[in-house]
Amino acid sequence: MDTTQRTDQQRSADRRRRELLEAADRVVLRDGPQASMNAIAAEAGITKPILYRHFGDKGGLYAALATRHTDALLDSLRAALDAPADRRERVEATLDTYLTAIELRPQVYRFLMHPAEGGQPGDAGFDVGKHSAPLLRRMGEELAQVIEERLDLGPGGQQLARVWGHGIVGMMHAAGDWWLGERPCSRAELVRSLADLLWGRLAAAGDRVGGPGF
């Protein structure tokens, strides 16, 4: 039958695609995002044109790669945000989940968020792709939805929720990025400091003696 035929072929193609993605993953995690298509093909035991047949171009491959990791991360964040606990605890758990993820797999994080950096040679070849934007945007939108669904913010609440969603995600991202590079404190302290910020400790802080205060 024609349909079963098609199905078989598609299944095999999908399997192959997954294998190729895993090979690409290994190379990218080893060599950074500036990994060449040749290198990826070699790791997969094949040659370039096959990659192009499967993914169109390098952007397509990287997008597929990024989507996998992004989806996984978003799943764990959703889980943390849905745990049975009070609001602050869940906020802290979510921050902690994100930070743990980037701490455990900094290479994935760098791939999703950062330019190449990994080149011994004169470098200059940058990279990145539009990976960081999509991930940050998706996280921002999802958080906005959660906020809007569960919090009573009064009139204009929907818009407020979206601003906050993106703002909070950006806060988490930038703080995490800095923390990952400098490791100035433990993860728990970082989580606590960010939650304190969200909880209004900035507004509540007193001015320093002798100055106008911020």
Q: Which of residues 11-30 bind DNA (CB under 7 A)?
A: 12-13, 16
Cα atoms found within 13 Å of the Cα of residue 168, Cβ hemisphere only: 28
The interface partner of residue 174, options being a copy of itself, DNA, none and the CB cut-off 5 to 8 Å by kind, is: a copy of itself
Query: Phi/psi zone of residue 186: left (φ > 0), alpha (ψ -120 to 50 degrees), beta?
Result: beta
Q: Taking the complex as a whole, how short is the minimal distance between the CB of residue 37 and DNA, in angstroms?
A: 4
Among positions 120-149, residues that touch DNA (CB under 7 A) are 122-125
Nearer to DNA, 24 or 102 (CB): 24
Q: Taking the complex as a whole, how short is the minimal distance between the CB of residue 23 and DNA, in angstroms?
A: 11
Q: Is residue 58 within the footprint of DNA (CB under 7 A)?
A: yes
Q: What angle separates helix 106-113 from helix 2-31, to the nearest 10 degrees?
A: 100
**Sign of the alpha-carbon torsion through 23, 25, 31, 34:** positive
Q: Is residue 53 within the footprint of DNA (CB under 7 A)?
A: yes
Q: Is residue 163 within the footprint of DNA (CB under 7 A)?
A: no
Q: Is residue 7 within the footprint of DNA (CB under 7 A)?
A: no
Burial class (CB in 10 A: 0-12, 13-18, 19+), 54: middle
The Cα 175–Cα 81 span in angstroms is 19
The interface partner of residue 199, options being a copy of itself, DNA, none and the CB cut-off 5 to 8 Å by kind, is: a copy of itself
C-alpha 90: how far from its chain's center?
19
Q: Is residue 174 within the footprint of DNA (CB under 7 A)?
A: no
Q: Taking the complex as a whole, how short is the minimal distance between the CB of residue 117 and DNA, in angstroms?
A: 14
Instruction: Calculate Rg over the CA atoms of the chain.
Output: 21
The Cα 144–Cα 162 span in angstroms is 5
Cα atoms found within 13 Å of the Cα of residue 187, Cβ hemisphere only: 14
- Beta carbons of 150 and 158 less than 8 angstroms apart: no
Residue 195: both structure tokens together: 């939650």
Q: Taking the complex as a whole, how short is the minimal distance between the CB of residue 104 and a copy of itself, in angstroms?
A: 20
Candidates 9-17, 110-118, 163-171, 179-187; binding stretch for DNA (CB under 7 A): 9-17
Q: Is residue 36 within the footprint of DNA (CB under 7 A)?
A: yes
Nearer to a copy of itself, 44 or 143 (CB): 143
> Under the rule (CB under 7 A), what is the footprint of DNA?
2, 5, 9, 12-13, 16, 36-38, 41, 45-50, 52-53, 57-59, 122-125
